[in-house]
Amino acid sequence: MRHVPVTMLVVKVAARCNLDCTYCYEYQMGDTSWRDRPRVLSLELAAIVGRRIRAHCESWGRTRFSVSLHGGEPLLAGIDHIEGVIAALRRHAGPDVVLDVGMQTNAVLLTDDVARRLEAARCSVGVSLDGAAPVNDRRRLDHAGRGSTRPALRGLESLKRSGPRAFSGILAVIDVEADPLATFEFLAGLAPPSLDLLLPHGTWNRPPPGRERHDGTPYADWLIPIFDAWFGGRHQGVAIRTFEEILEHLLGGTGSLETLGLEPVTLLAVGTDGAIEGVDTLKAAFPGAHELGLNVETHSLDDALEHRMVQARQCGLSALPETCVRCPVVGTCGGGYFPHRYREGTGFQNPSVYCADLFKLIRHIECALAAHVRPESRAAKEPA
């Protein structure tokens, strides 16, 4: 197959977390590899990652690359160390590579000083928050079982005070027990530039909440009222990435999210020990599913492109079962997110466990788009 270059690395700067979220793929779904990883990524490994990025960009003729600092909770590494990691990445990536650096955090450890220093380091910050306290505190708990909403909102306010470029958006995991429009109003009311409404990680062997019987469309039914409100003009200043991605595909464009579409996935992860990983959310499938047996100390990013797991995420229709290939929405759905396709015995060559939800949501958005476009098309054809 023809390879596509890596354009983004999720770099784990901390292998532990100060929260104990009930749905976490890292700590709650059976994979315990984090226990054997260093607690933080060393500056020496950060420098090697930077050099691997530079070499990869040189070999593919690229001048821009993205890094997202993750954990665990990345701020457990401490702001001094994070500043050092960012500096090492940029220095060793070289002057010919524009390195876009971001971070995903639960915001509990964000203070005015930390947020200001991240802004000065040109590191945009996304915040994980599922909704108002009654929703967020059901699942996003600390290790003493206490809700995290109050400190997370304090951290978010610090971030918003630090500068206009610091806050990149909110990542929210869907809770189908919560009121969708109330959740949307609360999250959009925090004025995020973007909002990611994420499906909880699950597989056919371990289905997500609400899909235990593999029937119904609880997630589509939750998302559709939000889409209708947003598409109808409510909080349109907030980019809801799943909806925008579906609209982009339906209009004939190419997507940018690895959760939808048939475009080759160009994202890899690097652990605190330097291990190059397929994508860390594969841990939701089975323990060790993310492991490629590669490390930045001894392997290049080009080496990772040769791995069968990476190729499976880059080969589009070839990675999908016949059911998906024949589906009328496959160009938009893409079979769903790769980890969500897993079933013991057939591996990842299955439709997503969210297949019915994705089909219903995409068809609904397709109809809304058609109804929106048709009047303009008729007007354009009428004689003046």
Look over the chain and give the mean of its residue pLDDT values, rounded to a whole number. Answer: 93
Calculate mean pLDDT across residues 47-76.
97
The more confident residue out of 380 and 42 is: 42
**Is 137:192 a contact under the CB 8 Å cutoff?**
no
79-82, long-range: CB < 8 A, 24+ apart: 79/113, 79/114, 79/117, 79/118, 81/13, 81/40, 81/43, 82/13, 82/118, 82/121, 82/123
Beta strands in the chain (DSSP E): 8-12, 64-70, 98-105, 123-128, 167-173, 194-198, 239-240, 267-270, 275-277, 291-295
Convert the pLDDT of each residue in 29-40 to its tens digit.
888 888 999 999
Give the pLDDT score at 383. 45
Identify which of 145, 115, 134 has the alpha carbon closest to the alpha carbon of residue 177.
134
Going by C-alpha positions, the residue among 32, 75, 68, 37 that lies closest to residue 53 is 68
- Chain-centre distance for alpha carbon 188: 18
pLDDT digits over 257-294, tens only?
Answer: 889 999 988 999 999 999 999 888 999 999 998 999 99
Q: Is the pLDDT at 138 greater than 80, yes or no?
A: yes
- pTM comes to 0.93
Among candidate residues 103, 87, 5, the one with its CA nearest the CA of residue 53: 5
Give 197-233 pLDDT, tens digit per residue: 999 999 999 999 998 888 899 999 999 999 999 999 9
pLDDT class for 1, splitting at 50, 70, 90? low
Separation CA 81–CA 13 (nearest Å) = 9
User: What number of CA atoms fall less than 13 Å from residue 209's CA on the CB side?
Assistant: 12
What is the per-residue pLDDT for 382? 46
Determine the Cα–Cα distance for residues 10 and 29; give it in Å rounded to an integer.
Answer: 20
Mean pLDDT along residues 160-176: 93
Amino acid at 106: N
Burial grade of 74 (CB within 10 A; 0-12, 13-18, 19 or more): buried
Q: How far apart are the first and last CA of the chain?
A: 52
Superfamily name with CATH number, domain 8-341: Aldolase class I (3.20.20.70)
Please state, for a pLDDT cut of 90, what percent of the chain lies above it. Answer: 83
d(CA 185, CA 190) in angstroms, rounded, equals 9
pLDDT tens profile 297-354: 999 999 999 998 888 888 888 889 999 999 999 999 999 999 999 999 999 999 999 9
Tell me: the pLDDT tens digits for 84-113?
Answer: 999 999 999 999 999 999 999 999 999 999
What are the Cα distances from residue 44, in Å, to 65, 273, 294, 303?
A: 20, 11, 17, 21
